[in-house]
């Protein structure tokens, strides 16, 4: 009889660039106040990549830290799935650039996943499928972004949100119960106009890429959609709200996270919140928050984690993980 194969998180890691952009700095750039930003978003500061730091550089440090935590070396990795919406180049993929920077020469497949803020959940789900199907035994899953490079610092409607950073997990095949229990992915491509990058890509050649967002409409869609994905995840696994030990959400806006926590009847102490210090780092925000919760000792082995995200596309999804 063959044993069920699960994908277990063997180690986590993250990296934040040194430079900070505080709300006080933004008060000097746009017509805003620290009080407005804190009240409407919960954000106090965000990290900004140095001029010579690119998404693959951030990813490299996060990946090295995750590998160290897992007790593995880079050439033990049999698959890289990297989620980003700010790749170093159109091609090669940032996953391939990362593979080279990690010194990997074992020929492991490497690919990017583009699902904007839901990217990490999409990447985790992809790597989980490779492991569960027996194609690989070890996978490196990374979320990495340099969003400040595509931020329009004349647009006070969204420029206060975005930050740079990277987070990574190493997954390993296991026959124990620990690991990724289920993932739930969705997309609805009808809402391009609400959240997109103007310029860049093949329809905006020669134009510097900048994020555009109808913030309030996206906010409402995010709250309602995350409400539904929480129900879907619990129902699919026959769980009740009280079974979840930790909510590890995409860090878009503290008010969106509060709404999901309320839906789950979870006290703030059971939510890993990094939005105040990291801002919204898109695909990097969940693995960054996970690493913070693991390294400070709050998240313990055997606990049940719910990760969820909503972002451009629109895309949304969740992952239920027995850590």
State the catalytic residues: 117, 250, 280
Contact residues toward ligand UT7 (CB under 6 A) are: 32, 36, 40-41, 117, 156-158, 160, 195, 215-216, 218-219, 222, 252-253, 256, 280, 310-311
Report the chain's C-alpha Rg in angstroms. 18
Q: Which CB sits closer to ligand UT7, 117 or 289?
A: 117
CB of residue 32 to ligand UT7, shortest distance in Å = 3
Could you give the CA distance from residue 257 to residue 236 in angstroms, rounded to a whole number? 22
Could you give the CA distance from residue 179 to residue 238 in angstroms, rounded to a whole number? 17
Q: Which CB sits closer to ligand UT7, 191 or 232?
A: 191
In DSSP terms, 211 is beta-bridged to 197
CB of residue 133 to ligand UT7, shortest distance in Å = 30
Q: Which CB sits closer to ligand UT7, 30 or 50?
A: 30
CB of residue 284 to ligand UT7, shortest distance in Å = 11
CB burial of residue 263 (10 Å; 0-12, 13-18, 19+): middle
CB of residue 253 to ligand UT7, shortest distance in Å = 4
Which of 199-202's residues contact partners 24+ apart within 8 Å by CB, and which partners? 200/150
Q: Which residue is nearest to ligand UT7 (CB)?
A: 215
Backbone phi and psi for residue 149, each to the nearest 5 degrees, phi listed first: -75, -20
Could you give the CA distance from residue 293 to residue 127 in angstroms, rounded to a whole number? 22
Q: Which CB sits closer to ligand UT7, 137 or 196?
A: 196
């Amino acid at each position: 009889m063959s044993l069920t194969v699960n994908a277990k998180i063997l180690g986590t890691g993250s990296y934040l660039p040194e430079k900070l952009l505080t709300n006080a700095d933004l008060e000097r750039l746009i017509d805003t106040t620290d009080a407005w930003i804190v009240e409407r978003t919960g954000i106090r500061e965000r990290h900004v990549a140095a001029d010579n730091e690119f998404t693959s550089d951030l990813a490299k440090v996060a990946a090295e830290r995750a590998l160290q935590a897992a007790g593995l070396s880079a050439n033990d990795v049999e698959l890289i799935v990297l989620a980003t919406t700010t790749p170093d180049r159109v091609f090669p993929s940032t996953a391939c650039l990362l593979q080279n920077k990690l010194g990997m020469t074992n020929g492991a497949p490497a690919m990017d996943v583009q699902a904007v803020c839901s990217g990490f959940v999409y990447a985790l789900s992809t790597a989980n499928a490779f492991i569960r199907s027996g194609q690989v035994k070890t996978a490196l899953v990374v979320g990495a972004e340099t969003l400040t490079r595509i931020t329009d610092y004349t647009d006070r409607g969204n420029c206060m949100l975005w930050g740079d950073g990277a987070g990574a997990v190493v997954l390993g095949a296991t026959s124990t119960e620990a690991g990724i229990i289920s993932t739930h992915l969705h997309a609805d491509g009808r809402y391009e106009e609400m959240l997109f990058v103007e310029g860049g890509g093949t329809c905006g050649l020669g134009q510097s890429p900048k994020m555009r967002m109808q913030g309030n409409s996206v906010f409402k869609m995010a709250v309602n959609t995350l409400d539904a994905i929480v129900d879907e995840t619990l129902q699919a696994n026959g769980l009740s709200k009280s079974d979840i030990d930790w909510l590890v959400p995409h860090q878009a806006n503290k008010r969106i996270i509060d709404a999901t926590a309320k839906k789950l009847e979870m006290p703030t102490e059971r939510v890993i919140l990094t939005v105040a210090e990291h801002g919204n780092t898109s695909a990097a925000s969940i693995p960054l928050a996970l690493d913070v919760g693991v390294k400070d000792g709050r998240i313990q082995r055997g606990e049940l984690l719910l990760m969820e995200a909503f972002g451009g596309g629109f895309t949304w999804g969740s992952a239920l993980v027995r850590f």
